[in-house]
Amino acid sequence: MYTYEEAVRIDRKDPLSSFREEFYYDKDTIYLDGNSLGLLSRGAEANVYELLNSWKKYGIDGWTSGNHPWFYLSEQLGKASAPLVGAEKDEVVVTGSTTVNLHQLVATFYKPKGKCTKILADELTFPSDIYALQSQLKMQGYDPSIHLKQVKSQDGLTLDETEIIMEMDEEVALIVLPSVLYRSGQVLDMKALTIAAHERGIPIGFDLCHSIGALPHELSEWGVDFAFWCNYKYVNGGPGSVGGLYVNAKHFGKTPGLSGWFGSDKKKQFDMEHEPTFAGDVGAYQIGTPHVLSAAPLLSSLEMLNQAGIQHLRERSLRMTDYFMTLIDHELTSFGLTISNPRGEQARGGHLFLEHPEAVRICKALKAEGIIPDLRPPSGIRLAPAPLYNTFAEIWQTVQTLKKIMEEKSYEQYERGRGVVS
């Protein structure tokens, strides 16, 4: 039943399969790490050269000349990002990085008063978010060990939304949570959490790093106050790609917590006045000059995602991860490999999370066989079939290769220590 030929037939019938040829990939390698860094597309490469050439051709006039004037590039890319997060076009801007944008948003929305001084997060979120929240608390004169509440996980892998809501008490001034947990791939119910937060008068924001480009959002409809993300995973914007942020239109007119000249009203920016006139939309939350060459790949990447349609990409992603889990259940459970990501479609993100005590050495063995996984020490293996460029045939091959590694115990020839980057 589960044959290579059947996997190939599935790929041939899939209308999204054609997008694979838009990407550069090694025919001898199966790349399953798109939830850490997406592959380079031909269009993204062409856009880098196009904007490099605009610098070459126009010099300083590139700010207002060419096909993509740099002065308006962040807003242009924000408009293209809006459909991916379910936002209005003036609610999204491409700027900064994940952590810089989080600092900006917390500095804007965290307003401690009286006994309402705490920030609510969770113990499973990506460490950089916690570092930023600790830093913001310290700058306000608060002790993070007291004023940063982190919701506990019962199993070390997932969070219970009911328990999160129970922690939303009168001492919480701000809530910052992930949309998808970076290890287990659990999707949190952002709508329910937002409703609960607002019933208690608490602003709430989400880190979308592991959901942007992978699953649909309706941030505006749900009333989410703010969100932030990177663009180098499923959006395929390249290493160090410029991040993005969203602010609900109901908050337009707020003074940004961190001010910079690129948050100015475009018509006033070059008046060089020391009293700022901020943009009337999300553009106000920009700080510094846009990183033009790092933003260039997004011109094509966002166009491709919108062409494919985020709903269609999500549907294909779910089919791919379901097929992956079915094969793993059929071929690999006897070797002690455990599927630790949520299995339900509503709670499952774009990657699988396998666990095994020998995860470090298994990942090294997979790489030696030309399969690129992602290690999450001490025992986690993330496998992300990206719907734009991975195939069902690759999933089948990966499971067969992993079965061979486990049968032959070829992983035993590798050291247990992880690399500097895992």
Q: So where are the chain's domains?
A: 4-31+309-409, 47-307
Could you check whether 4-31+309-409 and 47-307 share the same CATH topology?
Answer: no
Nearest residue to 367 via CA among 332, 325, 401, 409: 401
The region of weakest confidence among 42-51, 176-185, 264-273, 362-371 is 264-273
Q: Is 68 annotated as a binding residue?
A: no
DSSP 94-143: E-S-HHHHHHHHHHHH---BTTB-EEEEETTS-HHHHHHHHHHHHHTT--
What would the mean pLDDT of 132-144 be, rounded to a whole number? 98
* 274 assigned ligand-binding residue: no
Residues 210-226, mean pLDDT to the nearest whole number: 98
| pLDDT value at residue 2 | 87
395 touches 326 (CB < 8 A): no
| In the predicted structure, residue 95 carries a pLDDT above the cut 70 | yes
Q: Which residues contact 264 (CB under 8 A, 6 or more apart)?
A: 276, 277, 278, 279
Pairing of the two strands 371-372 and 244-247: unpaired
User: pLDDT tens, 382-400?
Assistant: 999 999 999 999 999 999 9
135 in a known ligand binding site: no
Would the annotation count 289 as a binding residue?
Answer: yes
When pLDDT is averaged across residues 350-375 and rounded to a whole number, the result is: 97
Q: What is the mean pLDDT of the chain?
A: 97
Whether pLDDT at 91 is above 90: yes
Over 70: is that where the pLDDT of 265 sits? yes
pLDDT mean over 228-255: 97
- Sheet strand arrangement including 352-355: 338-339, 352-355, 380-383, 374-376
- Where helices occur in 167-255 by DSSP H, the ranges are 190-199, 219-222
Band of the pLDDT at 338, cuts 50, 70, 90? very high
- Annotated binding-site residue? 210: yes
pLDDT, tens only, 149-189: 999 999 999 999 999 999 999 999 999 999 999 999 999 99
Q: Is 126 annotated as a binding-site member?
A: yes
Q: What pLDDT shows up at residue 1?
A: 65
| 109 within 8 A of 98, measured Cβ to Cβ | no
**Which amino acid is present at 97?**
S
Q: What pLDDT, on the 0 to 100 scale, is given for residue 422?
A: 62
**pLDDT value of position 41:** 98
- CA nearest neighbour of 390 among 310, 336, 341, 324: 324
Residue 128 assigned ligand-binding role: yes
H runs (alpha helix) in 246-348: 292-295, 297-308, 310-331
Q: Is 232 marked as binding a ligand?
A: yes
Within 8 A by CB and 6+ apart from 30, the residues are 370, 371, 372, 390, 394, 397, 398
| 373 and 4 Cβ atoms separated by less than 8 Å | no
What is the predicted pLDDT for the residue at 421? 64
pLDDT per position as a tens digit, 96-114: 999 999 999 999 999 999 9
pLDDT beyond 80 at 419 = no
Is the pLDDT at 378 greater than 90, yes or no?
A: yes
- Is 265 assigned a ligand-binding role in the annotation? no
Q: What percent of the chain has pLDDT over 70?
A: 99
Percentage of the chain beyond pLDDT 90 is 97
pLDDT in the model for residue 229: 98
On whether the CB atoms of residues 14 and 7 are closer than 8 A, the answer is: no
Q: What is the CATH number of domain 4-31+309-409?
A: 3.90.1150.10
Q: Which positions ≥6 away from 87 have C-beta within 8 Å?
A: 217, 219, 220, 246
Q: Is 207 assigned to a binding site?
A: yes
Confidence of residue 345 (pLDDT cuts 50, 70, 90): very high
Q: What's the whole-model pTM score?
A: 0.96
| pLDDT class of 417 with cuts at 50, 70, 90 | confident
Specify the pLDDT at position 369: 98
Q: What's the CATH architecture for 47-307?
A: 3-Layer(aba) Sandwich (3.40)
> What three-state secondary structure class fits 316?
helix
Give mean pLDDT, residues 338-342: 98
